[in-house]
């Protein structure tokens, strides 16, 4: 098998030994830790060869096979590997994380135990402003002076919330009820076990620029610190065919074909006006059109439309 490590690189067990229980810090008091892993790149290849047969061994090495599988969404071989993590994450971030239903979860119980005495705090220069283009997102930072006041108010709120929680416990209130006013910034911990296919799906969604910054930090840490060394071939293919890939819709392709036939001779990149002239018919009568904006961003990235078009 070509997936065995090259001479001089650490053995699989040394690699796993070095990674297991190592705390990779995230945010101000969070972390991700590898607890266990089953399978490696070779396990993906082994499973795929059951379905594709011995013939594949001659035509493709392991790397090529993994790349083929990922490119064509032949996903089940990636389910043969599993990874278990211990994570410490603020509850608002966990609320997004837990939406990924294809994992096995055990979370710290604040009915049974005292809530973790730690809340995620925001530095004075880390308050983000509301994005104007995307109602769900943020864009830019608040000035430091305004941020300092918010951070100060946040610290007060955290202390007050914890004091009220403590007061309820001391009065004999059950932990399950005493916790109800703890802020969403309170850290929780959970074991999270997931197969590699669903882990890559999680990473593709949560490393993406549309995901909230906090969960993006977690996903990037999981991906780069843990998945990359454990599954180097799958990781490489994932970056090439998911993270850095671009999907061109049927409408996008029509616009590109029109632009290149109208502007082939005049030369590309085309201007914003040329893009608007070549846009899809269904977008033409709309003042605002998210799909047109997305198409424009793709064409700028491909060098087919001039970047200045963004601000025009």
20 binds ligand FAD (CB under 6 A): no
What DSSP string runs through the chain? -TTSPPTTSPPHHHHHHHHBT--EEETTTEEEEEEEEE--HHHHHHHHHHHH-THHHHH--HHHHHHHHHHTT--GGGGG-EEEEEEEEEHHHHHHHTT--SEEEEE--TTTSPPPS-B----GGGPEEEPSS-TT-EEEE--HHHHHHHHHHHHHHHHHHHHHHHHHHHTT--HHHHGGG--TTBEEEEEEEEEHHHHHHHHHHHSSTTS-HHHHHHHHHIIIIIIHHHSHHHHHHHIIIIIT--PPPHHHHHHHHHHHHHHTTT-SSBPHHHHHHHS-HHHHT-SS-HHHHHHHHHHHHTTSB-GGGGT-
Give me the 207-236 binding string for ligand FAD, x by CB under 6 A, dash otherwise. ---xx-------------------------
- State which of positions 98-157 bind ligand FAD (CB under 6 A): 99-102
In the complex, what is the shortest distance from the CB of residue 78 to ligand FAD, in angstroms, rounded to a whole number? 12
285 binds ligand FAD (CB under 6 A): no
* Nearer CB in complex with ligand FAD: 64/241: 241
* Nearer CB in complex with ligand FAD: 73/114: 73
Report d(CA 115, CA 132) in Å as an integer: 36
* Nearer CB in complex with ligand FAD: 86/205: 205
Q: Which of 16, 150, 205, 302 binds ligand FAD (CB under 6 A)?
A: 205
Q: Which of 76, 198, 225, 271 binds ligand FAD (CB under 6 A)?
A: 198
Point out which residues pair with 188 in neighbouring strands.
89
* Nearer CB in complex with ligand FAD: 106/149: 106
Q: What does each C-alpha distance from 248 to 85, 204, 235, 254 come to in angstroms?
A: 35, 17, 23, 10
290 binds ligand FAD (CB under 6 A): no
In the complex, what is the shortest distance from the CB of residue 233 to ligand FAD, in angstroms, rounded to a whole number? 22
In the complex, what is the shortest distance from the CB of residue 251 to ligand FAD, in angstroms, rounded to a whole number? 22
193 binds ligand FAD (CB under 6 A): no
* Nearer CB in complex with ligand FAD: 57/201: 201
Cis amide linkage into residue 32, ω under 30° from 0: no
49 binds ligand FAD (CB under 6 A): no
The residue whose Cβ lies closest to ligand FAD is 101
In the complex, what is the shortest distance from the CB of residue 198 to ligand FAD, in angstroms, rounded to a whole number? 5
Q: What does each C-alpha distance from 167 to 45, 172, 174, 260 come to in angstroms?
A: 57, 9, 12, 70
Which positions are catalytic?
Answer: 206
* Nearer CB in complex with ligand FAD: 144/210: 210
Q: Which residues bind ligand FAD (CB under 6 A)?
A: 99-102, 198, 201, 205, 210-211
């Amino acid at each position: 098998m070509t997936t065995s490590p090259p001479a001089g690189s650490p053995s699989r067990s040394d690699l796993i030994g070095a990674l297991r229980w190592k705390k990779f810090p995230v945010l101000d008091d969070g972390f991700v830790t590898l607890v266990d892993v089953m399978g490696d790149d070779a396990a993906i290849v082994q499973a795929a060869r059951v379905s594709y047969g011995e013939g594949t061994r001659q035509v493709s090495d392991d790397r090529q096979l993994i790349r083929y599988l990922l490119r064509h969404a032949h996903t089940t071989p990636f389910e043969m590997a599993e990874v278990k993590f211990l994570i410490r994450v603020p509850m608002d971030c966990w609320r997004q994380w837990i939406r990924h239903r294809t994992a096995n979860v055990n979370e710290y119980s604040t009915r049974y135990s005292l809530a973790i005495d730690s809340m995620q705090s925001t530095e004075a220069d880390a308050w983000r402003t509301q994005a104007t283009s995307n109602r769900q997102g943020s864009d830019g930072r608040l000035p430091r002076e305004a941020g300092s006041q918010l951070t100060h108010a946040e610290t007060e709120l955290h202390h007050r919330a914890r004091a009220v929680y403590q007061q309820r416990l001391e009065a004999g209130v059950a932990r399950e009820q005493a916790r109800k006013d703890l802020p969403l910034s309170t850290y929780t911990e959970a074991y999270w076990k997931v197969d590699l296919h669903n882990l890559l799906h999680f990473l593709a969604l949560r490393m993406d620029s549309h995901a909230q910054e906090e969960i993006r930090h977690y996903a990037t840490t999981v991906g780069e610190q843990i998945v990359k060394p454990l599954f180097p071939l799958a990781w490489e293919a994932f970056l090439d065919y998911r993270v850095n890939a671009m999907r061109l819709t049927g409408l996008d392709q029509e616009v590109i074909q029109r632009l290149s036939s109208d502007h082939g001779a005049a030369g590309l990149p085309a201007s914003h006006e040329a893009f608007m002239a070549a846009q899809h018919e269904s977008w033409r009568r709309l003042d605002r059109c998210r799909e047109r904006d997305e198409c424009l961003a793709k064409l700028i990235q491909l060098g087919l439309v001039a970047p200045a078009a963004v601000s025009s």
